[in-house]
Structure 1
């Protein structure tokens, strides 16, 4: 009675779980659909796009330092003064005055040893490096979509496999009980079938738990719950050989290109630090008008001139900053060496994983075929009394393991193929030709690079872009 109750509860739980999954399935979804949605909804991409726009504005704000700086000012003052004389006859005089003035000031940098120009060029190199970092993030987002998609596909197929195995074991148990009733097998055979059935139920529960975890992984990576997923029927083209994969990776991987731009920016910053030790020349002008509250008189003032100055001794601070910039440049150069080897290693490892996954599929397919033949033979021999119940259950478990290995190998092969693309720097929306509106990193930069004012045409266009981004 207790075993029958367990069977009913377990079967009901399975049917409930299947119905929940079916309700979430609206239409068949492909791997491309998942990558498109991940690209559209990734908060990580939005974060790094904002960081790229901030880098664009660094170019504009630095360029603005080469333009005239015009400011207005207003002053209101109250003064109280006293004068006391004690030469012959001591006397004291006191006066109060209230004054107001308003005016304009202008300052223009004429010469600073090219420091500001170097800063502008360094900021441009930083923009290019940040763009490559955005490509790297894009690869990470798309690879996460692939991994989560194939995890759901794999675990869903394993759950179905476990469900079929459970139904088969239920029939095996019933057959063992029937044979026990007529004296063909012992109570031990029935117990073995019962133990195998309970183990299958536990394995099904574990598989269902794995599938739920994969669905949560999918929801985090793609931005929504998975529906009915269709496994890809072909692999993306990667490379002809491991050497080709490494060559493309060294040439086009965004992390490597990013570091090259960072080296250029660091070298410019070294020159900029040295320029800070030289003189600086600026043009200044001031125009103001003032009036006293105590009278109707007013005064106008206008001035223009040049200012020249430079450091003489600052306690060794400028020399330290110069050496610091050199050390930072050397550190970035060293990171290029490290990144080159890591990228080559990643490309080689990904390629090896892809080849191994393909070999595992061939072996698993042969294992499944052989295990199925063995299981069917053992089961027929058991009916004739030549095999025991334990032999049948063991053969059935071997077939189940082989089928599970095949499912896992097929999923691993797809993930490995996209990992090879990622290691080569080609796992991008553009290379995969995904049907999604791509983010154009140059559009914002071209509008912002000249530091337009808020009221200019470009400034209004930038304002519209920022507002549209805020509504997403």
Structure 2
């Protein structure tokens, strides 16, 4: 029965590994290749790029509010009626006229709200760009962890497979020794129980590999290939203090929070500007013609107007106070982000040091456990050790090897967590072979608010069609 369980488990995991290996080359897949595919295939990055384009359009809309607004209106009007004195004279009238009018309005002064609106939209763009960088970092870190999880699950599976093979040998040896009277039935039962536990652990390792493969598919956009274990840790600052200094200057979450503070300051000024008068100039020109005769009327007007609030129940003052409160909240959030980034850097370095210390200790433990296992097995062959002693020694070696695998993976996870905490988990810093994304390209095309009929507007339409966003 154990043999059937063992064979079935191997077949299942073999099928899973084969399915996950179809997209790779014979040389294996490196971490850089995985991260490049994750970056290209990511829906999260595409989502944040779309949000950035939406923020870019906010600048165009704010600028448009400072320009003249030209409108037209037209219509056809029919008037009819009856007038007169009953039984004396009745007159019926009917007229049909058409009219068209052009009007233009330009706000000359609005308490600085229009110019401040453009500045506010620009701050929103800069904050959204930082959010995009943060999304890229999150994706690449998740893809890295998924890559390392596959490596850990694969190594653990190999370890469990080898463990089952070794214990099966021990079971056969125990049975042979039982046949000649060297051991008791208890020794055989102990070996068989350990084999059953090893088969169960092998099934769990198979499941862990499949689960890691599903996570890999989520973040990378495809199934994993034959992944190659990284040989070198990424380059990171030599001290925690230096890393923290870099992080508070360049981490995208801090940059985003800084622009949000600047935006909240502008909202206060805009709220105060709403309490000031608005001055605008309006011009119109119209033509009215009659279908009943050749009469017509044409003319226009130009007017300069001003308006302003006198009393609105305290709403405007409340809006100013609300903007100030939001400004204070943004400043506090910036402080929280600052401390969080510093904490993340310190934690990542601590995890790295622990992983490196564990790796060194487990390397020594594996060496010692291997020597002990070989010695116990030889002593058991001479009758100086029991089957249980051999199984215990083998289990200690297995545990040491498993711990070493986890420590090696943890070392790489911690190192890349340091990069992410600093703000260096980016395609440029990692030197990934991916298309370069220029966040200012779309902004430069729309910042002047081109209309669709203009040359620039038609070029923008062509770009959107190329992106599949029309």
How high is the TM-score relative to the length of structure 2? 0.95
Residue 152 of structure 1, aligned match among 115, 128, 150: 150
Please state if 1:189 is matched with 2:194: no
The CA deviation at 1:393 is 0.5
- Output the CA distance in 2 between the equivalents of 1:264 and 1:382: 75
Match of 2:104? 106
1:95-154: per-residue Cα shift (whole Å, max 9, x none)?
A: 443321112111111111211001101110111111011111110000011000000000
- Output the CA distance in 1 between the equivalents of 2:55 and 2:3: 63
Deviates more, 1:72-81 or 1:267-276: 72-81
Give 3-state SS (helix, strand or coil) of 2:223's partner.
coil
Match of 1:42? 42
- Output the CA distance in 2 between the equivalents of 1:444 and 1:454: 15
- Output the CA distance in 1 between the equivalents of 2:82 and 2:389: 117
- Output the CA distance in 2 between the equivalents of 1:229 and 1:111: 64
1:377-424: per-residue Cα shift (whole Å, max 9, x none)?
A: 111111111111111101101100110111111111111111111111
Residue 164 of structure 1, aligned match among 151, 162, 165: 162
Residue 334 of structure 2, aligned match among 336, 355, 370: 336
Gaps of 5+ in 2: none
Residue 173 of structure 2, aligned match among 151, 172, 175: 175
The CA deviation at 1:233 is 0.3
Deviates more, 1:412-421 or 1:19-28: 19-28
Please state if 1:32 is matched with 2:12: no
Match of 1:256? 254
Residue 237 of structure 1, aligned match among 235, 248, 256: 235
Match of 1:418? 416
How high is the TM-score relative to the length of structure 1? 0.95
Give 3-state SS (helix, strand or coil) of 2:468's partner.
helix
The CA deviation at 1:259 is 0.9
Answer yes or no: is the 8 Å Cα contact 2:16–2:210 preserved in 1: no
- Output the CA distance in 1 between the equivalents of 2:229 and 2:81: 90
The CA deviation at 1:456 is 2.2
- Output the CA distance in 2 between the equivalents of 1:428 and 1:280: 47
- Output the CA distance in 2 between the equivalents of 1:255 and 1:320: 30
Match of 1:327? 325
CA-based RMSD of the aligned residues comes to 1.9
The CA deviation at 1:337 is 1.1
Match of 2:68? 68
Match of 2:437? 439
- Output the CA distance in 1 between the equivalents of 2:463 and 2:211: 38
1:359-390: per-residue Cα shift (whole Å, max 9, x none)?
A: 11101101100110111111111111111111
Match of 1:463? 461
The CA deviation at 1:17 is 2.5
Please state if 1:222 is matched with 2:220: yes
Match of 2:204? 206
- Output the CA distance in 2 between the equivalents of 1:321 and 1:82: 56
Give 3-state SS (helix, strand or coil) of 1:106's partner.
strand
- Paired residues in the alignment total 466
The CA deviation at 1:68 is 1.3
1:149-175: per-residue Cα shift (whole Å, max 9, x none)?
A: 000000011001100111111111001
- Output the CA distance in 1 between the equivalents of 2:347 and 2:236: 14
Answer yes or no: is the 8 Å Cα contact 2:45–2:135 preserved in 1: yes
Give 3-state SS (helix, strand or coil) of 2:230's partner.
coil
The CA deviation at 1:256 is 0.8
Residue 408 of structure 1, aligned match among 401, 406, 409: 406
Deviates more, 1:7-16 or 1:198-207: 7-16
Question: Within 5 Å, which residues of 2 pair with 1:316-395?
Answer: 316-395=314-393
The CA deviation at 1:206 is 0.4
Residue 7 of structure 1, aligned match among 3, 6, 18: 3
Match of 1:397? 395
Deviates more, 1:213-222 or 1:287-296: 287-296
The CA deviation at 1:9 is 4.5
Question: Within 5 Å, which residues of 2 pair with 1:124-139?
Answer: 124-139=122-137
Give 3-state SS (helix, strand or coil) of 1:229's partner.
coil
